[in-house]
Amino acid sequence: MQIFKVGGAVRDRLLGKPVTDIDWVVVGATTEEMLAQGYRPVGADFPVFLHPKSGEEYALARTERKSGRGYGGFTFHASPEVTLEEDLIRRDLTINAMAEDDQQNLTDPYHGQRDLEDRILRHVSPAFAEDPLRVLRVARFAARYAGLGFTVAPETLELMRQLSDSGELEALTAERSWKEISRALMEDQPQVFIQVLRNCGALKVLMPEVDALFGVPQPEAHHPEIDTGLHTLSVLEQSALYKQPLTVRWACLLHDLGKGLTPEEEWPRHIAHEHTGLKLIKAVNERFKAPKDCQELALLVGKYHTHGHRALELKASTLLELLQSFDVYRRPQRFEEFIVACEMDARGRKGLEQRSYPQADYLRGAAKAAREVAVQPLLEKGFKGPELGEALKRERLKALKAYKDAASA
Nearest to 161 by CA among 132, 121, 188, 187: 132
Compute φ and ψ for 143, nearest 5 degrees.
-70, -35
Buried b (16+ CB within 10 A) or exposed e, 245-276: bbbbbbbbbbbbbbbbbbeeeeebebeebbeb
Domain chopping of the chain, boundaries: 1-110, 376-408
CATH code of 1-110, in short, is: 3.30.460.10
| Alpha-carbon span 98 to 91, nearest angstrom | 10
Each residue of 164-201: pLDDT tens digit? Answer: 999 999 999 999 999 999 999 999 999 999 999 999 99
Nearest to 112 by CA among 102, 123, 101, 103: 123
Each residue of 34-69: pLDDT tens digit? Answer: 999 999 998 766 789 999 999 999 999 988 775 555
- pLDDT of the residue at 44: 66
Is a pLDDT exceeding 60 seen at residue 74?
A: no
The reported pTM is: 0.93
Nearest to 283 by CA among 338, 212, 230: 212
Query: Per DSSP, what are the bridge partners of residue 99?
Result: 6, 107
379 against 291, higher pLDDT: 291
| Alpha-carbon span 169 to 175, nearest angstrom | 13
User: 279: helix, coil or strand?
Assistant: helix
- pLDDT of the residue at 61: 93
- pLDDT of the residue at 45: 66
Each residue of 243-283: pLDDT tens digit? Answer: 999 999 999 999 999 999 999 999 999 999 999 999 999 99
Is a pLDDT exceeding 60 seen at residue 403?
A: yes
- pLDDT of the residue at 226: 95
Each residue of 352-382: pLDDT tens digit? Answer: 999 999 999 999 999 999 999 999 999 989 9
